[in-house]
Amino acid sequence: MQLGLGIFCAVLGILSALLATPRARRERRLRKHGRTATAICREILNPAEPEGPMRIRCGFQVEPHRGEYRAVVRTRERVPQVGEELRIAYDPEDPAYAENLDCMTTASFGREDLIMAAVWVVTYLVAASCVATAD
């Protein structure tokens, strides 16, 4: 019974890591390899969460001969008006993934890594204690 519980806890930890890591990986990559650009605010969207940051659809060009990329970025400090410029960082491998430079400077940017570390530690401790009591 405890061995089954230990396996269940381990599988739960792995599934939670797989669900949370894509965003954390993208944010980490953006911090490391992101390039900056000037974007134009195209549309102001509602926040994804009620107390969360406002979202802005913006357009920017990476290279003159390529078309305009569109991305949705978050902002906490100041919401630009439609047509106004803002500074963003974009992923050179996937320019559609971008973030407002103002948001990247906050402590909450990339916090998913800390949450996942805590989930893994708790899952490991619970699974290890379940397996230990099974013996």
pLDDT of residue 41: 93
DSSP H helical segments within 74-111, as ranges? 101-104
Interatomic CA distance for residues 98 and 73, integer angstroms: 6
Return the sign of the alpha-carbon dihedral for residues 17, 19, 20, 21: positive
> Residue 63 CB: number of other CB atoms within 10 A?
7
Mean pLDDT value of segment 62-68: 81
75 or 77, higher pLDDT: 75
Mean pLDDT value of segment 28-55: 84
pLDDT of residue 85: 93
Q: With a cut of 70, say whether residue 98 has pLDDT above it.
A: yes
User: Which distant-in-sequence residues (6+ apart) come within 8 Å of 63 by Cβ?
Assistant: none
Share of the chain above pLDDT 70, in %: 73
pLDDT of residue 49: 75
3-state secondary structure of 128: helix
Tokens of 24: 């954390």
Highest mean pLDDT among 76-80, 82-86, 112-116, 122-126: 82-86
